[in-house]
Amino acid sequence: MRLSVDEAFRQYGDRAFSAAFNVCRNRADADDVVQDTFIRYYAKDLDYENEEHIRAWLIRVAINRAKDITASLWHKNRVEWEEYMNELPFEAPADKGLFEAVMRLPDKYRIAIHLFYYEDYGIKEIAEILHCRKGTVKSQLSRGRKLLKEVLKEEWRDDE
């Protein structure tokens, strides 16, 4: 199975951007990652099992490419994700606080949390996407939740 690049972008472009932004933490790099991801999709003549396989492949490529960008030297001088916060629409003030808390997590926890809660992947699929064991994903989710709970409790106490 293969979708046209236009159709794949219509269906999964936002998801690829979301995954890339989660790693890069800024819009410009995430946009570049999405562009690279779909160029790679176009250039690869792969036959996918189904649309879920296409989605997983695109997200995996986006995450890997985003990691490459964040590891580069020029990335150190880029605009941080906090400046992008003003452009994001949040339905409730609590959503903004949760987003900020998630974005402050270490990469390994933030990526696992993003894939689990925002992309609705199960532990097995996350392990495949990140090329790690299911136990590692479970551990990252557990530790990420614990860190989030601590941060959100502190914010809640500060609001009182």
**Tens digit of each residue's pLDDT (9 = 90 or more) over 104-122:** 899 899 999 999 998 999 9
Q: Which domain holds residue 126?
A: 89-160
Asked if the model's pLDDT at residue 19 lies above 60, the reply is: yes
- 22 & 65 share domain: yes
Q: Identify the CATH number of the domain in which residue 111 sits.
A: 1.10.10.10
Domain count, the chain: 2
For residues 49 and 55, is the Cβ–Cβ distance under 8 A?
no
- 65 & 125 share domain: no
- 101 & 126 share domain: yes
- 109 & 62 share domain: no
What Å distances lie between residue 108 and 7, 111, 142, 145, 155, CA to CA? Answer: 31, 6, 12, 12, 23
Q: Which CB contacts under 8 angstroms, 24+ apart, belong to 84-93?
A: 84/21, 84/26, 84/27, 87/27
Which of 66, 87, 108 is the C-terminal boundary of a domain? Answer: 87
- 117 & 159 share domain: yes
Render pLDDT for 20-60 as a digit per residue (tens, 0 to 9): 999 988 898 999 999 999 999 999 988 899 999 999 999 99
Q: Identify the CATH number of the domain in which residue 23 sits.
A: 1.10.1740
- 81 & 118 share domain: no
Asked if the model's pLDDT at residue 68 lies above 70, the reply is: yes
